[in-house]
Structure 1
C-alpha cells in the first residue's frame, strides 16, 4: 500500500467533492497555503497552481518510492522554494505517512522562510527544514547533509536552475526534477554577439529579432542543461508539466542517475556552444574546460 493511500481519510477536515484534491490530502494545509479559501473553495489562480504541483507530484512519487525501498529515508532538497507549496504538499501526500525522510526548502527571501518554518511547526511537519540561502550558497551549507537523494526546482529563475543542477551533482543526487523559468543569460550573450554572428552565418537570423532572441535563448539553455546532465551520468526525459493554458513556463526536465556518462553528449554540448559563440562565457558553467 502506498503512503498516500494509507493517509486517505486520516485528515478529519478532508473534503471529497473537489476533483482536484488527492485522497487524504490535508484541507487544513491547503487553506494555510491559501490554495483553498476558508470555506474550502478554489479560485481560478489557485486551481492552476494546485494543478501544477499535483501534476509534478505524479512524476516525483515514483522516484520517491524507488528511493524509499528497503527502508531508506529519502532526503529531498527543494530549491527556490518560495512559499514551499511543493515541499508542503510532498510532505503531506508522501513523507507524512511514510514516517521517515526529510525535506529541505531553500529560499532567499527570509520572510518566506520564517513563514514556512512557522507553518511546519503548526502542522507538526517535523521532518521539514527551511534555509535562508541562495541555491549557490546551499552547496556548502553545513545545515545540509553530504548527500541528497532528490533535487527539485520549480520555476527557479534564470541561472538558479543551473545552480540546482550543480548542487545535485555535488550531492550525488539520484534524481533531479526541474522546471526552468525566465532564462535570460544565453539571450544576453546572443544579443552581445549578434552583429558578428549575422555576418558569419545565416543561422543568426534565428535570433535577429528580440522576441526570437529571448525564445531561442531559453531553448538553447534547456538543451545545454540536458546535455550537461547526460554527460554527468544521468538519463534525461523532457516533457510538459501541464497544458500551456496553465503556464507558459512549462518544460519539465527529469534526470535519473545511471552512472553512464555520455561522451557524445559532451561533444555535442561543446559543438553547440561553439556554434552560437557561447563557449568562453558558458563553457565552465556546463563542465567544459578550455
Structure 2
C-alpha cells in the first residue's frame, strides 16, 4: 500500500474519507478511488506551484482586473475556493498534500448542505487542518459573503450541477482569480432554451436537426454550454485548456476546463461567443450569464 501513497500522505485522512479501510488496507474499489483522486490532484498541483512562484498582481479595487505587466510582491499564501464541495474530498486532499507542508494559504469549502459543512468542519478540527474553512452557502451566494476574502487565487468547481459552474466562473471573475479548474456536471439551462425555440430554429436552419430529438437536445446543450464558457473565459483574459479527466471512468462528465489568467482579453472570443448565441437562439443568456463582456458594461458618463 505504501507504494501507492504519496510521500507524507495522511493515512488517518484516507481512512476518514473511506479511501482506506479501518485497518489501513486498499481494496479494489478504494484503489481505483485513490488513483482518481491523485490523478486530479496532479492537475491542480501544477497550478498551485505556478501560483506559489508567481508575483501577486496588485488589486485595482472591487471588480477590477490587474494588468499582466504589473509586478507586485510574492503572495503571502494561496487562497483556494472549492465550490460545491460536498464531503470536501478534494479540499482535504489538497490541504494534506500541498497546504499542510506550507505555513500559509487557506482553503474555503463552499457547500449548500449544512450537514456536510458540519461534518467537514469537525473532520478538519480532528486532523488539525487549521487553515480550512467550510461555509454553508450556494455558489451564487458566496460571491457576496463576508466570510471570504476580497480576492481568491484559485477557484475549483467539480461536478457543480447545471448553472452552478457558471456561478463559479462569475465568482472567479469577481474575485480576480488567477486560475480556475472546472469539471462541469449536468447542464440543462441551454437545453431548455434550445427546446423553447426548436420549432422556429427548424424552420430557419437545417443545423437545428442537431437538437431536434430530446436526447440530442440534452447533448447539444451540454456541448454548447462548455464551448460558450471557454469563449467567455478567453474574452475575460484567461488562457483556456480543455482535456479529459482520464481515470474517471465511472463518470460520464469527464471534461476538465483549466483557465489561467493572463490579462489578454480576446476580442475574437467575445465576438464568436455572441455569434454562437445568435446562431442557436440563445441571445437571452447574453446579459444573464456573460455579464463581464464589455458590451454588457454600463456606458461611461460624459465628463
What's the TM-score, normalizing by structure 2?
0.86
**CA RMSD, Structure 1 to Structure 2 (Å):** 1.6
Distance 1:213 1:49, change over 3 A: farther
Distance 1:71 1:139 in 2: 22
Shift of 1:246: 3.3
SS at match of 1:106: strand
Aligned to 2:107: 103
SS at match of 2:258: strand
Distance 1:175 1:247, change over 3 A: same
Shift of 1:283: 4.2
Distance 1:71 1:271, change over 3 A: closer
Distance 1:219 1:124, change over 3 A: same
Distance 1:41 1:79 in 2: 30
Shift of 1:28: 0.6
* Residue 255 in structure 1 maps to residue 277 in structure 2: no
- What pairs with 1:1-290 in structure 2 (closer than 5 Å)? 15-17=1-3, 19=4, 21-69=5-53, 70=74, 72-243=76-247, 245-287=249-291
What's the TM-score, normalizing by structure 1?
0.90
Asked if structure 2 preserves the Cα contact closer than 8 Å seen for 1:224 and 1:286, the reply is no
Shift of 1:36: 1.5
Shift of 1:226: 0.3
Shift of 1:244: 5.9
> Which shows bigger deviation, 165-174 or 274-283?
274-283
Distance 1:238 1:83 in 2: 26
Q: Which runs of 5+ in 1 are unaligned?
A: 1-14
Distance 1:52 1:16 in 2: 17
Distance 2:80 2:120 in 1: 16
**How many correspondences in the alignment?**
274
Q: Which runs of 5+ in 2 are unaligned?
A: 54-73, 297-303
